[in-house]
Structures are given as structure tokens and as C-alpha cells.
Structure 1
């Protein structure tokens, strides 16, 4: 029996029993296998270490009220990883291989999937890295694809609470750069802006478009959305924004479950008073309600700095309900682990 207090879990690394690993050599992936060892041995000349030729994903497994285990839109993670691998000239992991690996990892670590009702989940971290003896600036000749997992707690332990953000002077990504794919360098570059925002008492910072510094792109490492005063669900559009699976899920739910108009368009930082509610969305928190955004030394407050707006709350409850099996999911969103 595991000695885990499910209700006290945070978002921290916990070594679970098994992880999946496959090696790319001579133009093909090896047959993947489950291993107990959580250490990788790679060449000191691996391009992942020197040139950032690597990518990752994040998704979760959920335990339903009936005790079943399900993955949420795992095929979308597989497709996004394929797009990232293409951008970095890495071999893609086929969707079927990705799904099979994810299911095997969850099944092999089934006792680590938290019980229904705790709000906790099993977080999966798939990644691909370029390895081998390669000191020149060129693609690796060998690669590793792996998935490991760990139980993580609910993001909001005491209920959802709005948080404030400030606008950053830093750029998250360059125009036509790698902002639209999930590479580690995007996150390394965000560490300093985040630290500076936190030092000033903000949850994180808002990144504007790198070309004009007039349009909202991302909120820390999450996507932005706003609810207009006439009840439209709006998210920014830009090739530099990572296509968040949570965001596209919320777009669908807003339109088809809450029957709201939805728009993907430019969101200008000097016109944020068009929104009565706002949030940041991603795998970890699902939705982080935005209380206010500081821009040019003025804090613009949306619904409230203390309470979550009603539409944001309804979107959160609907998506969480689908993920835990309490609300009927759109077709193709759920992958059961048997």
C-alpha cells in the first residue's frame, strides 16, 4: 500500500514504479518498454544538452466515480508533440505509439492514480530528446522518447482564487520563432520574467506580441481568455502562441455547452476593459482566474480580486466534470485505460 496523503499533494516530482522508453536509431523507433530506472545515461555531446533539441508534453489521467481511469484528449498532445518534433527536425512519435505508451505508463502505475474526490490526478510527462555523439550544430542521429508520471494535487487547494498579473517588457518568443511549439527553451527564457513579477507580488507576467508590444499573447506559460461584457468568449490569435489543448477545449465548451459566441482574434492590452472576466488556462490549473492586470502602473481589475466570475466558474466546473467523468464528454475526448 502506498503511503500518500492524496489531499496534501502538490506539483512535485515523485518517483513512481515504471516509465516508458523507446530509442530512435537507424531511422526507426525501437519497441518501447517499461523500465524501473528513472535515470537516463546519454552522451555528453547530446544536442539536447547543447542546442536545445528537445521537447515535452503534459497531460493527466483521472479516476472517475466508478473507479475507471481515463486520459483527456491524449491524441491532441500526440499531435502537438508531432508538430514540435517537425519544427526541431526530430523524428515524430506516431499517435498510436504515443497513446499506447501513455496507457501503458498509467496502467503500470495504477496505484498512483489518486482516488476520485480528492481532486488529485496522475500527471504524465512525455518528452523527446536528441542524443548521441554530435558536437556540430545539426540534428542528432539518435533520440529518446519517454513518458514518466507522478501523482499531483489539485492546483487550487482552498478553492479557485483570482490572482493578479503584470505586463512584461520581455518577449516570450520571436516572430516566426518557436513560440507555437512546446520546446524547453521557451520555458528557460521565462524564468527571469517570472521571478521579477513574483518579486513584485504578482502571480506571473503577461507577454505581449514581440513585433508591436500591443497585443496579449500568453500569461506566463498559459493561454489567455476573456469574457466580454456582452458574453463572448475571446482568446488571442498568433503563430507565437502555444496551441493549448485546455484553451481549445474551453472554446468548444463555451460554444456548445454554454451556448456563447466565441472569437479567436487580436486582444489589445490597452482595450482590456472590454472584458468583465479573464483567465489563464493550461493543463496544471485548468483555469487560473485573473483578478487584475497591471499595465503602465495601473491595475485593471476584471470581475473581482477576491471572487471568481460566474462564467469562468461554469467553464471550469464543466471541463473538470468531463475530465473526471461526471459530465458527458464530446465524442473522442476520453481515452479509457483498461
Structure 2
């Protein structure tokens, strides 16, 4: 399908904030991509001015939660090149999510072309400083007006973008995480491995409790035994136990992160031992006490690498080492960000350059 492009009128363009004024997720660019699924096929792919979606009050996404999304970024290099980081991995995960939610797949190449068309049109929205970027949010929702529990027959696929700074107010500094042993996010056999909206709705209550106690994110335990570490609210989780990098396996309730996979690939490339295995919260607490646990960090598109300086569990706080940024956290962050912004060699072919 050919993507049609309909630019916004020059006088309707939005003001762009300075890089040092950016926050995450509050400012959006001038254009969006949209196409519609009707009569068994995707139709009319187009880039249009950013604006509201019109939905029937009976749209099935509003009643049965049939919706998914993705997240990736566009980076501006010092020489003006525009990079996407492993975008086809996001397209693959997008389609895994839609299959799990009984929604229609989107051709990965068309999806990538839509993102490129959108980025080209709004290229001036891409920040110029390292650490800032253009966040890209592909989304699909069930738009058919119908009350009844079944997969919808009509969908809207849209993509919006917006310039962002650091995801956490702390920036690249250690965050504090709250271990939830009362509330759970997902269970094996459910939709935890899909990037569906319901997973995030399920996390809000515990996240608010953590916030009130002064913690940045929730570390989720498994939903059955409340014993095994799974992931943080917006990130996968890694532990440096002695000189081994350990992370929970993708068991069906954990989102398969693109940054997670990249960290594993980099660690193996550097000769670091990697072990994807179950990790109990008791092992984490004991490791902090003994000193065997040298670092904890989260990985995700939004923050890249987030060092963890403190863990709160069962009404007690545990400081990881001296609470500062760990050696491996810094190394992974510098390497991935360096590749994203074209400052370091890309031995894996992760970078996709957008033709302007």
C-alpha cells in the first residue's frame, strides 16, 4: 500500500520546546500516522496532522480493552543523521502482541515505512542533545461499535511521536524500587508478555502505593508464589551476582524487551557470563547483605539503563552496595547510547538510518 502524506498548514505548526525543557510524554509533534482495518483488510494508510480520534461510545476498546502499543525512539546524531534502534524488533513484538489479543497483524515493512514517513515530516522535532530523542508510539485499538465479548472486526492503527528528555526525574542516577508482595501484575498463561494496555492498568494501584512511600517503581514478583522476581513496572530487571549477569527468563508473564535483548547480546560480546534463570527475592536480599549482589539495573526503551540503588521489601530498605551507579550499569548505558547516537561502532547492525 502507498502511504499518502498530508502536511499540516505552516501556520498551524506547534511551538517546539528547547531540549532542556523536555519532559517525558507531555509534548507531541505536528503529525500522526493512521490506517483503518475494515472488511478484513487494512485501508488508507496516511500521515495526517496530529489531532483527536473520533470513537463511537460502543467502540470495543473502551469496553473490553482490546488494544496494544509499542515504544521506540528516533535519535539525532551530531552529523545530522537520524537513527532508529532495532525498529524491526519492535515491529515483531507489535505483531506478537496483536496475535495474543486477537487483532490483525501489520506488515513489518509497511509499519517501518510509516514510521520513516512520520519522522521525515517531523524531523525538526527530533532533539539535538544526547539523552533527548523523539519518542515513537505505535498503537492499535478496536474501534468497532459493538457490545459483546468477542474480537472486534474493525481497528485503528495509529502512530504518534513527541520529543522527550529523561524518563525518570533522577536521570541516569540510581532509582529506588518497591517490591510488591501483595499485588501482582501478570500470571503465566495471561497477557503479561503482550504490550497490552491492561497490563499497565493492573500496575497502577501498587505503583501509587510505592510513590507515596518515596519509591520510583515497583518490582513485581510472580503471581503464584510471590517469590520469584519478574520485572519492574516499565523495565526488565538485571542483577550482577558476583561476576555473572543474571535476569529472569521469559516465562510468559514478562515482556520481552528490546533493550533487554541488547544488553544480553552486548554482555556475551564482551565475554560476560549471562544466566537467564529464576531469581527469588530472598536471593536478592541475601545477595545485598553478603555483598555478592554488586549491581541491580533495569532496561527499557524509555530510560535505556536505570541503576537501582535501593530496594524496599517487607517494610525494610536495602541499599545496593553504596547506592551509587555500578560499573556494568554505566558501561551498558554508555555503549547502547553511543550506538544509538552514532558515537560508537555498531558491530551488530542494530541501527536503521532514516533517509531524509
What range describes the TM-score normalised by the shorter chain of this pair?
over 0.9
SS in 1 for 2:311: strand
Measure the CA separation in 2 of the matches of 1:142 and 1:173. Answer: 27
2:9 equivalent in structure 1: none
1:135 equivalent in structure 2: 147
Alignment pair present for 1:97 and 2:110: yes
2:8 equivalent in structure 1: none
> Please, which runs of 5 or more residues in structure 2 have no aligned partner?
1-12
Give per-residue Cα distances to partners, 1:240-277, cap 9 Å, x unaligned.
Answer: 00001111111111111x32011111011101114210
TM-score w.r.t. length of structure 2: 0.90
Cα distance change on mapping 1:139 and 1:323 into 2, 3 Å: same
1:176 equivalent in structure 2: 189
SS in 2 for 1:30: strand
What displacement does 1:137 show? 0.6
Q: Which of 20, 31, 34 is the aligned partner of 1:7?
A: 20
SS in 1 for 2:57: coil
Q: Which of 38, 45, 48 is the aligned partner of 1:35?
A: 48
What displacement does 1:284 show? 1.0
> Please, which runs of 5 or more residues in structure 1 have no aligned partner?
none
Alignment pair present for 1:294 and 2:306: no
What displacement does 1:7 show? 1.5
CA contact (8 A) 2:306 2:329 kept: no
Measure the CA separation in 1 of the matches of 2:85 and 2:300. Answer: 13
Q: Which of 58, 61, 77 is the aligned partner of 2:71?
A: 58
Alignment pair present for 1:153 and 2:165: yes
Cα distance change on mapping 1:100 and 1:3 into 2, 3 Å: closer
Cα distance change on mapping 1:159 and 1:180 into 2, 3 Å: closer
2:329 equivalent in structure 1: 312
SS in 2 for 1:313: helix
Alignment pair present for 1:270 and 2:282: yes
CA contact (8 A) 2:75 2:134 kept: yes
Matching of residues 68-107 of structure 1 within 5 Å = 68-107=81-120
SS in 1 for 2:208: helix
Q: Which of 322, 331, 334 is the aligned partner of 2:339?
A: 322
SS in 2 for 1:85: helix
CA contact (8 A) 1:15 1:38 kept: no
TM-score w.r.t. length of structure 1: 0.95
Measure the CA separation in 2 of the matches of 1:314 and 1:126. Answer: 30
Give per-residue Cα distances to partners, 1:66-118, cap 9 Å, x unaligned.
Answer: 11001111101100010110011100111111111111111110000111x34
Measure the CA separation in 2 of the matches of 1:192 and 1:332. Answer: 40
Cα distance change on mapping 1:3 and 1:74 into 2, 3 Å: closer
Measure the CA separation in 2 of the matches of 1:216 and 1:20. Answer: 37
Aligned residues: 334
Alignment pair present for 1:303 and 2:321: yes
Alignment pair present for 1:213 and 2:226: yes
CA contact (8 A) 2:71 2:135 kept: yes
1:194 equivalent in structure 2: 207
Measure the CA separation in 2 of the matches of 1:303 and 1:97. Answer: 47
2:10 equivalent in structure 1: none
Measure the CA separation in 2 of the matches of 1:36 and 1:113. Answer: 17
Measure the CA separation in 1 of the matches of 2:171 and 2:68. Answer: 32
CA contact (8 A) 1:6 1:118 kept: no
What displacement does 1:332 show? 3.4
